[in-house]
Amino acid sequence: MSTVPSKTVETFENPRPEIDYTIRIRIPEFTCLCPKTGQPDFAELTLEYIPEGCCVELKSLKLYVWSFRDEGAFHEAVTNRILSDLVAATAPRFMRLRADFNVRGGIYTSVVVEHRASGWQPAERVELSF
């Protein structure tokens, strides 16, 4: 596999497609450029998803995220684009992407976007207590 930025997200077969389970991936070093100033924007991405037929391969995800380093993008646009690309690659039952951007001019930005497969309903939440 290459070690240069790439817009390709590779996948592998879901090892347990018969059950709903959550995969949570923390990406603390996302960078892109401010489209107005060209200065770098830094964010922590949190990806959560319930896979259907396939899962995101992590090295390809790293290279995909890296591909935004030299691109100008508004926070809202880049967060939605990443979610759209990941949904296109994996067709999950559910996917949520949260982008927490670092301070810029005294302002922090968080963008949260979600996808639900048509007809998919989450299982009822279970609360366990002592």
Which residue has tokens 């790293």? 62
* Residue 84, domain member (yes or no): yes
Is 81 within the bounds of a domain? Answer: yes
Q: Would you say residue 2 lies in a domain?
A: no
Q: Maximum Cα–Cα distance for the chain, whole Å?
A: 53
Domain-located, residue 125: no
- d(CA 91, CA 111) in angstroms, rounded, equals 21
The kind and range of the H/E element at 24 are strand 23-33
- Choosing from 20, 32, 41, 85, which is the catalytic residue? 41
Q: What is the pLDDT of residue 104?
A: 84
Q: Which CATH number is 55's domain given?
A: 3.30.1130.10
Split into its structural domains, the chain has a count of 1
Give percent of the chain with pLDDT exceeding 90: 88
- In-domain check, residue 130: no
User: Range of 97's domain?
Assistant: 11-116
Average pLDDT for 82-110: 96
**Model-level pTM?**
0.92
- The enclosing H or E element of 82 equals helix 75-90
What distance in Å separates the CA atoms of residue 20 and residue 122, rounded to the nearest whole number? 8
Q: What is the pLDDT of residue 96?
A: 98
- Concerning whether 20 is annotated as a catalytic residue, the answer is no
Residue 31 placed within a domain: yes
* pLDDT band (50, 70, 90) for residue 125: confident
- Say if 32 falls within a structural domain: yes
Q: Is 32 a catalytic residue?
A: no
- How confident is residue 2, by pLDDT bands cut at 50, 70 and 90? low
The chain-wide mean pLDDT, for the chain, equals 95
Chain-centroid distance of CA 121 in Å reads 21
* Catalytic residue (one of 20, 34, 85, 100): 34
Residue 122 lies in a domain: no
